[in-house]
Amino acid sequence: MKLNILVTAGDGIGPEVTNEAVAVLQEIATLGGHELSFMEKRIGGVAIVADGTPLPADTLDAALASDAVLLGAVGGNEFNSLPPDKRPEAGLLAIRAALGGFANLRPAFAFKELAVNSPLRPEIIEGADILFVRELLGGLYFGQPREWNRESGEAWNTMRYTRSEVARVARVAFELAARRRKKLTSVDKANVLEVSQLWRATVTEVAKEFPGVALEHQYVDAMAMHILNRPRDFDVVLTENLFGDILTDESGVITGSLGMLPSATIGGKVNLYEPVHGSAPDIAGKGLANPLGAILTAALILRYSGGLEAEAAAIESSVRKVLEQGFRTPDLARGNTQGVTVLSTKEMGAKVRETVKEQLVAISS
């Protein structure tokens, strides 16, 4: 298998965590005889300093010419006084728009060993494994008209979807559900919003193409509660942009730490992979960053761009195993720290690589 991966590490802890993710991918390439090549380009604050823009043209060109983009994080306090369109985050929004991915996948799963980090009771979250599919290019965040009319003291945004926008993201979600536990929960507010009625009708129509997947509908307000009360009951959860933004952040509490969460945005010209966390300037450059979110993001590259399911699963089970053995980065070493060994970013990356190697050698022998 051959894959050209563009790495845009960005700012703060971005380079530290992406280094570890790339190292895990290199280990897998060596073990499995896969050709993974990596090119690095600037994005965010580092690009503003070096090139005067948060998304230089050569970064965008390289992204569009690659098979997958791995992004670290962007942002830094020194850029906070810049206008929004000149800030590091503008580079992130621009690359997302240019790559055109409309389906944002965010897994939310429980790690038994990290239950102490979650505000939810261990017996509620144990075994939870949800894959959110959030529509990323439509809805309230993009709908026109939108305006804040300062003279009249009114402001408005428009939640707008077309049938085809809903159908394409629904197909992605059904296909993923068909490969998992064959259950899809579609979230809307069809009791109040016309746009949600279109959403529900379209998802119901698309469901006919996937007779093996059970479809249920939930209202977003009820769903916000169900996620916290009975997260194990959900497999793939499909929702529109705004509801997805809120529900995926809420579901972060299942995993218990921001540093553990991966994401993938698919369906456009090139898939974009990024850990959910930001650039964490408060801990950057100190070896304190948790690289597991970035490493789990690397697993998603193998799954969705490389078709290497066994290798992706080996990364995920290695992360579990390393946690079982009591290894933690400082953000995870809260609560009960008995039997816990605190590791630096690099040490944690090395532990995962070691475990991945053991697993893959065991599978192939």
Catalytic residue ranges:
141, 189, 221, 245, 249
Distance CA 326, CA 345 (A): 15
What token pair was written down for 182?
């064959």
User: Can residue 316 be called a binding residue for ligand NAD (CB under 6 A)?
Assistant: no
Give the residue, chosen from 21, 63, 92, 220, that forms a contact with ligand NAD under the rule CB under 6 A.
92
Pairing of strands 264-266, 103-109: antiparallel
Give the residue, chosen from 290, 305, 318, 355, that forms a contact with ligand NAD under the rule CB under 6 A.
290
CA distances to 47, 254, 316 from 61, in Å: 15, 37, 31
CB closer to ligand NAD out of 207 and 333: 333
Select the span of 74-82, 128-136, 163-171, 210-218 touching ligand NAD (CB under 6 A).
74-82
Pairing of strands 271-273, 68-73: parallel
User: Can residue 351 be called a binding residue for ligand NAD (CB under 6 A)?
Assistant: no
Give the residue, chosen from 279, 297, 305, 355, that forms a contact with ligand NAD under the rule CB under 6 A.
279
In the numeric block, the tokens 């390393």 are attached to 322
Give the residue, chosen from 5, 73, 254, 300, that forms a contact with ligand NAD under the rule CB under 6 A.
73
Distance of closest approach, residue 302 Cβ to ligand NAD, in angstroms: 20
Contact (Cβ atoms closer than 8 angstroms) between residue 73 and residue 274: yes
In the numeric block, the tokens 């298998």 are attached to 1
Distance of closest approach, residue 159 Cβ to ligand NAD, in angstroms: 24
- For residue 104, what is the enclosing H or E element? strand 103-109
User: Can residue 283 be called a binding residue for ligand NAD (CB under 6 A)?
Assistant: yes
CB closer to ligand NAD out of 124 and 340: 340
User: Can residue 54 be called a binding residue for ligand NAD (CB under 6 A)?
Assistant: no
Distance CA 221, CA 189 (A): 8
- For residue 148, what is the enclosing H or E element? strand 147-149
CA distances to 60, 84, 115, 259, 327 from 334, in Å: 40, 35, 11, 13, 12
CB closer to ligand NAD out of 92 and 300: 92
Phi and psi angles of residue 40, each rounded to the nearest 5 degrees, phi first: -110, 140
User: Can residue 289 be called a binding residue for ligand NAD (CB under 6 A)?
Assistant: yes
Distance CA 210, CA 148 (A): 42
Give the residue, chosen from 21, 48, 54, 89, that forms a contact with ligand NAD under the rule CB under 6 A.
89
CA distances to 18, 66, 238, 284 from 210, in Å: 37, 32, 15, 46
| Contacting ligand NAD within 320-339 (CB under 6 A) | 331
CB closer to ligand NAD out of 54 and 139: 54
CA 49 to chain centre: 27
Applying CB under 6 A, what is the total number of residues that bind ligand NAD?
A: 22
Pattern 17-46, ligand NAD, x by CB under 6 A: x-----------------------------
H-state helical runs in 112-160: 122-125
Pattern 232-271, ligand NAD, x by CB under 6 A: --------------------------xx------------
Closest CA to 137 of 88, 107, 182, 172: 172
Distance of closest approach, residue 337 Cβ to ligand NAD, in angstroms: 16
Distance of closest approach, residue 116 Cβ to ligand NAD, in angstroms: 16
Distance of closest approach, residue 72 Cβ to ligand NAD, in angstroms: 7
Binding site for ligand NAD (CB under 6 A): 13, 17, 73-76, 89, 92, 258-259, 274, 277-283, 289-290, 293, 331
